[in-house]
Amino acid sequence: MSLDAIEQIGPATKTRLEQAGFSSIKDLVVRGPVDVSEATGMEIEKSIYLCNQARIRLEDLGILDKSFVTATQLYNKRKREDRLSTGSKNLDDLFGGGIETRAVTEIYGEYGTGKTQICHTLCVMVKETKSEGGLTGKALYIDTENTFRPERIVSIAVARKMDPQIALENVIVAKAYNSAHQELIIQESGPIIDEKNVKLLIVDSAVAHYRAEYIGRGALSERQQKLNKFMHMLVRIAETYEVAVLATNQIQSSPDAIFGDAFRPTGGHVVAHTSTYRVYLKRSGKNRIARMVDSPYHPEREVLFTLSEQGVSDPSAQIR
């Protein structure tokens, strides 16, 4: 899927794009015309044209949906979408069979509700064959809060009777030190996803750096603009590279809440509108509750799961 796939990209333009970090036509679609123009110094009209040509090429290859299709065509395509098991039957049922590819799934909740444990479990599960609930691929884990622990990958793999060394080699970790670095990692992730057969992209957590760096009402507008750009890149990566994207999020108190839950996810409407599925995690004694709060077609309901040596599992479930 190199830049040569578009006939209108000549040698000079190709060099210009490659020097700016664009190595494939998928990169053009993920980054978008404005980003292409800013990164290369190219006129915006030319950037729009090239990005449109890249999109058309990916449509012709069947990677992206055509501009105009029938609902029947979309329905038949969605029946073939792959899903990644969470390791818990209850959670899988909540998601309609597991974490969906070509979509952004957001899980949020207070500390200790299992967000990072779900991430680690998915990293182990993704290497499994499709018949075993995996995607036969690797995981790319973007760690923004220094919470990734290889030891946890080992313990989950051992508990699930998998080879821990293979499980470790199957996870690619990128530590993001600030929001700009986080954006750069996403911009450069395309070739890694293609070359390493990445099927799961995790951002843990997606909003933390933006929340820490852009403080106060005066910085709110800039924060939301940058966060909006980042979240839309996740959406386009999910669709263009056909991967499952999982983003964790924090919660904040809602002082104006009189009835109902006093907490809400951070990131505001930007994150709410770009996440395909939103799941709220809460404690319930030794167990955890996962509630589907937003989905294009899932009902709003709750399920129980637990955290154990296997990572995420069902209450009383044991791996034998």
Q: Residue 8: its pLDDT value, please?
A: 85
Q: Quote the distance between the C-alpha of residue 213 and its chain's center.
A: 22
Q: Residue 207: its pLDDT value, please?
A: 94
Q: Which domain holds residue 95?
A: 82-313
Q: Could you tell me if residue 71 is inside a domain?
A: no
What's the chain's average pLDDT?
Answer: 93
CA atoms within 13 A on the CB side of 65: 17
Residue 277 and residue 100 in contact, taking contact as beta carbons nearer than 8 Å: yes
Q: Could you tell me if residue 65 is inside a domain?
A: no
The CATH number of residue 48's host domain is 1.10.150
Q: Residue 65: its pLDDT value, please?
A: 85
List, for the chain, all residue ranges whose pLDDT scores fall below the cut of 70: 254-262, 317-320
Backbone angles phi, psi at 247, to 5 degrees: -120, 130
Q: Are residues 129 and 9 in the same domain?
A: no
Residue 92, CA distances (Å) to 84, 156, 193, 217, 302 in order = 8, 18, 24, 39, 12
Q: Residue 318: its pLDDT value, please?
A: 46
Q: Residue 94: its pLDDT value, please?
A: 96
Q: Could you tell me if residue 75 is inside a domain?
A: no
Closest CA to 168 of 192, 181, 183, 152: 152
Residue 290, CA distances (Å) to 16, 91, 118 in order = 47, 7, 11
Cβ count within 10 A of residue 119: 26
Q: Are residues 115 and 245 in the same domain?
A: yes
Split into its structural domains, the chain has a count of 2
Q: Are residues 86 and 211 in the same domain?
A: yes
Q: Are residues 20 and 169 in the same domain?
A: no
Q: Are residues 136 and 279 in the same domain?
A: yes
Q: Residue 262: its pLDDT value, please?
A: 66
Q: Are residues 22 and 101 in the same domain?
A: no
The CATH number of residue 177's host domain is 3.40.50.300
Q: Are residues 91 and 30 in the same domain?
A: no
Q: Could you tell me if residue 70 is inside a domain?
A: no
Structure tokens given for 283: 């404690």
Q: Residue 217: its pLDDT value, please?
A: 87
Q: Could you tell me if residue 73 is inside a domain?
A: no
Whether the ω angle into residue 308 lies within 30 degrees of 0, i.e. cis, is: no
pTM over cut 0.85? yes
Q: Residue 268: its pLDDT value, please?
A: 87
Structure tokens given for 8: 């209108």
